[in-house]
Chains A and B, each alone.
Chain A
């Protein structure tokens, strides 16, 4: 029977209250939202917080809000909400692509975008999504609010820039016209971690050439976006040879490990093939947006 080690439990009543509780209880306190990463770790005694600060009552962090040329998403927004949002699917189809293969539908009812990003598991999908969409993370702490680009937010496996006394409150996604995005994952079965996955975001110029693009990989040993992919794609007409070269670079840039999900050469093959597919799809979607 897996039971967490003893801890004290408290429910935060507001963001300010959560920050106060984090300061008061110090480094042995942890925030819990959906709990679908933290509680399994606590049950395995890999994590033994002395205080658990439950933020599920902070409805102020559960929102999807269009604000000028940004889409703002609260950190407590559940995976199911993200998956079902037509507004998000229209602006950032990559989110629906990814959300439909994150864990399983029952887990998605609890898990949150903020929790996923803060857990920063190398096989976690939304980090790649946020990377390629150029999202910003809004973090609040005792000293006030700070806004970080994903490159500064995500520091490596299981490590983010969110300090012990801070709370990730919101993600902001830039809305750009003539843009498309896509995500594709290979997994052994529903709910398993990715063998490998790729995400891409593309913005087309008025002449149909690629104005901006980013490619990211999940579970393949590459933090942040594929270096050089943006430079390769920018200014070019979307075409198959370009996607092939981007795939080759992604396979070269990644550094997967061999495990029960597959050997290294298979994972490199996935980096290559999935990069081609998501670029193809992202460009097609961007072109559709242009026509619409």
Chain B
């Protein structure tokens, strides 16, 4: 069957089998391998792309179902040579180690900030709760999103040491408060 959709602002048209999943369409037909293919079972979230601005797990969407919609992948985050503040944030705050979960994490972060420019740490953690990172323990990912929230116009990367420490302190405090809450409830 023939499908057409917009991917990172470009109109694409392909002839595909109806059973092709969006993740494989993006990676293999369009050659955009920034979208990763992980668990295949809707759990890990590394295949997250934005469909009409909303994060979706592309291993559980048929390419045919995405026809007529607007898809944004990690390749569509930067504008030319200018990184999206989320990408810059992941660099500044070491939001990745192996990088496997990163594309999905960054797209969810982008969608979160588009909807809620000043999320608190709980909101950030909730937003990424359907995605798995095995390296960072999530703390640096949360800080990366906070960096992006604090620098909506991006930045040249020379955030002051104070800013970085402030961000760190906020996270540590919040985790302490959450632990305390959990202990009280228990």
Q: Mark B113-157, 1 if CB is under 8 A from A, else 0.
A: 000000000000011011100000000000000000000000000
| In the complex, number of A-B residue pairs with CB atoms less than 8 Å apart | 74
Number of B interface residues at 8 Å Cβ cutoff, please give it: 27
Contacts of A191 in B (CB 8 A): 43, 129-130
Q: Pick from B13-21, B87-95, B159-167, B172-180 the stretch touching chain A.
A: B13-21
Residues of B within 8 A of A2 (CB): 40-41
| Docked-complex contact B60 and A6, CB < 8 angstroms | no
Known interface pairs A1-B40, A106-B56, A106-B57; A39-B62 also in contact (CB < 8 Å): yes
Q: Give the distance to chain A from B116, nearest Cβ to Cβ, in Å.
A: 11
Q: Which A residue's beta carbon lies closest to that of B20?
A: A3
Q: Is there an interface contact between A35 and B54, defined as CB atoms closer than 8 Å?
A: no
Instruction: Provide the bound-state CA to CA distance between A9 and B127, in Å.
Output: 32
Question: Does A3 contact B42, Cβ atoms closer than 8 Å?
Answer: no
B130–chain A nearest beta-carbon distance, Å = 3
Q: Chain A's interface: helix, strand, loop or mixed, by majority? A: loop
Q: Is the CB of B43 within 8 A of A109?
A: no
Nearest-Cβ distance from residue B86 to partner chain A, whole angstroms: 16
B103 lies within 8 A of chain A by Cβ: no
Report if B85 contacts A (CB, 8 A): no
A9 and B1 form a contact (CB under 8 A) = yes
Residues in A neighbouring B131, C-beta threshold 8 A: 104, 106
- Judged by a CB distance under 8 angstroms, whether A7 is at the interface is yes
CA distance A232 to B130 in the complex (A): 40
Instruction: Give the complex CA separation of A150 and B21 in angstroms.
Output: 34
Does B32 have its Cβ within 8 Å of any Cβ on chain A?
no
Query: Which chain B residue lies CB-closest to A191?
Result: B130
Interface pair A190/B129, CB less than 8 Å apart: yes
Smallest beta-carbon distance A35→chain B, Å: 6
Determine how close the nearest CB of chain B comes to the CB of A86; give it in whole angstroms: 16
Chain B nearest CB from A187 CB (Å) reads 12
B61–A40 touching, CB < 8 Å? no
Q: A-facing mask of B17-52, CB < 8 A → 1, else 0?
A: 111010010000000000000001111010010000
A2 to B18, CA, bound (A): 14
Residues of B within 8 A of A110 (CB): 56-57, 60-61
Q: Are A104 and B65 in contact (CB under 8 A)?
A: no
Question: When the two chains form their complex, are residues A40 and B19 in contact, meaning their CB atoms are under 8 A apart?
Answer: no
B53-91 vs A, CB cutoff 8 Å, 1 = contact: the mask equals 011110011101100000000000000000000000000
Can you name the residue of chain B whose Cβ is closest to the Cβ of A9?
B18
Choose one: B17, B64, B108; the contact of A106 (CB below 8 Å): B108
Residues of A within 8 A of B19 (CB): 3-7
Task: Assess whether B42 is in contact with A6, with CB atoms less than 8 Å apart.
Answer: no
Q: Tell me the nearest residue of chain A to B125, going by C-beta.
A: A190
CB distance from B129 to the nearest CB of A (A): 4
Q: Are A105 and B62 in contact (CB under 8 A)?
A: no
Q: Which among A6, A56, A107 is the interface contact of B65 at CB below 8 angstroms?
A: A56
**Which of B24, B60, B126, B130 interacts with A39 by CB under 8 Å?**
B60
Which of A9, A35, A40, A103 has the most B CB atoms < 10 Å from its CB? A9
Query: Which residues on B sit within 8 Å (CB–CB) of A32?
Result: 65
Can you spell out 30 A-B residue pairs with CB atoms less than 8 angstroms apart?
A3-B19, A8-B18, A9-B1, A9-B18, A9-B62, A32-B65, A35-B60, A35-B61, A35-B65, A39-B21, A43-B40, A54-B64, A80-B54, A104-B45, A104-B129, A104-B130, A104-B131, A105-B126, A105-B127, A105-B130, A106-B56, A106-B57, A106-B130, A107-B130, A109-B55, A109-B56, A110-B57, A110-B60, A190-B129, A191-B129
**Closest 3 pairs between A and B when the two form their complex, measured CB to CB:** A104-B130, A9-B18, A106-B130
